[in-house]
Chain A
Amino acid sequence: QKEVEQNSGPLSVPEGAIASLNCTYSDRGSQSFFWYRQYSGKSPELIMFIYSNGDKEDGRFTAQLNKASQYVSLLIRDSQPSDSATYLCAVKDTGRRALTFGSGTRLQVQP
């Protein structure tokens, strides 16, 4: 069974710090990886996607992918209280368009 693993948290960081969120996946053939943010009671919203090994930056967010280690991470620089949410890692399954989601990491940014 294909799995996506995340630490459930909560991960607590002070305002202005860097938050580091991690995700591992079991399907070695997976090609694309997504980070979504989900506020309580709301649906997920896309932060960014990555498909090549290395880093991808978008504003305060940086996604990192290491396919050899089957590991993907999300760094949030200059964390703000508004970043407090659950962050979902999602992996596109090999051979189909559906996503497999991790259980999410709850991030708390302390003012």
Chain B
Amino acid sequence: GAVVSQHPSRVICKSGTSVKIECRSLDFQATTMFWYRQFPKKSLMLMATSNEGSKATYEQGVEKDKFLINHASLTLSTLTVTSAHPEDSSFYICSTSDGRAWDTQYFGPGTRLTVL
């Protein structure tokens, strides 16, 4: 399956700052990546679909100006949480698919964001 990395694994920041999370596809070129958010003891919620070379597609209720997604290359997508607030504290996970085996998605290790 696909190998996906994320950086950083953990970040603590002050309220009002912006945080950038990187998601890399290590073993193939990913035209599409997905960003999920998971609150404690809750399931994964899709935030947006990141498309290489075009604008991301955001799910209903996700603020595109707050969660900026850039997919500038076939191996890198970034999620920037702008002007973070304590309610943005969550586990952010990206995933991608190599398009084989029924488009199975493989997840990165996740980024734990804590906003003070």
Secondary structure of the B contact surface, majority rule = strand
- Contact of A101 with B44 in the complex, beta carbons under 8 Å: yes
Which residues of B have CB within 8 Å of A78?
none
- Which residue on chain A has the smallest CB distance to residue B111? A43
Secondary structure of the A contact surface, majority rule = loop
- Contact of B49 with A99 in the complex, beta carbons under 8 Å: no
Cβ of B77 to closest chain A Cβ, rounded Å: 14
Is A49 interfacial (CB-CB < 8 Å)? yes
Is B18 interfacial (CB-CB < 8 Å)? no
Interface bits A18-50 vs B (CB < 8 Å: 1, else 0): 000000000000011010100001111110010
- Contact of B46 with A51 in the complex, beta carbons under 8 Å: no
- Contact of A43 with B42 in the complex, beta carbons under 8 Å: no
Is A60 interfacial (CB-CB < 8 Å)? no
Q: How far is the CA of A104 from the CA of B105 in the complex (A)?
A: 17
Binds A, one of B65-73, B79-87, B95-103: B95-103
Q: How far is the CA of A88 from the CA of B95 in the complex (A)?
A: 15
Q: How large is the interface on B (under 10, 10 to 19, 20 to 34, 35 or more residues)?
A: 20 to 34
- Which residue on chain B has the smallest CB distance to residue A106? B41
Is A98 interfacial (CB-CB < 8 Å)? yes
- Contact of B104 with A49 in the complex, beta carbons under 8 Å: yes
- Contact of A44 with B107 in the complex, beta carbons under 8 Å: yes
Q: How far is the CA of A41 from the CA of B93 in the complex (A)?
A: 11
Cβ of A72 to closest chain B Cβ, rounded Å: 14
- Contact of B107 with A45 in the complex, beta carbons under 8 Å: yes
Instruction: Determine which of B43, B93, B105 lies in contact with A103 in the assembled complex, contact meaning CB atoms within 8 Å.
Output: B43
Cβ of B6 to closest chain A Cβ, rounded Å: 8
- Contact of B44 with A98 in the complex, beta carbons under 8 Å: no
Cβ of A42 to closest chain B Cβ, rounded Å: 7
Q: How far is the CA of A36 from the CA of B104 in the complex (A)?
A: 11
- Which residue on chain B has the smallest CB distance to residue A1? B60
Cβ of B61 to closest chain A Cβ, rounded Å: 12
The 10 closest A-B pairs by CB, nearest first: A43-B110, A43-B107, A32-B102, A103-B43, A101-B43, A101-B44, A43-B93, A44-B107, A98-B46, A43-B109
List residues of chain B with CB under 8 Å of any chain A CB: 1, 32, 34, 42-46, 49, 91, 93, 97, 101-110, 112
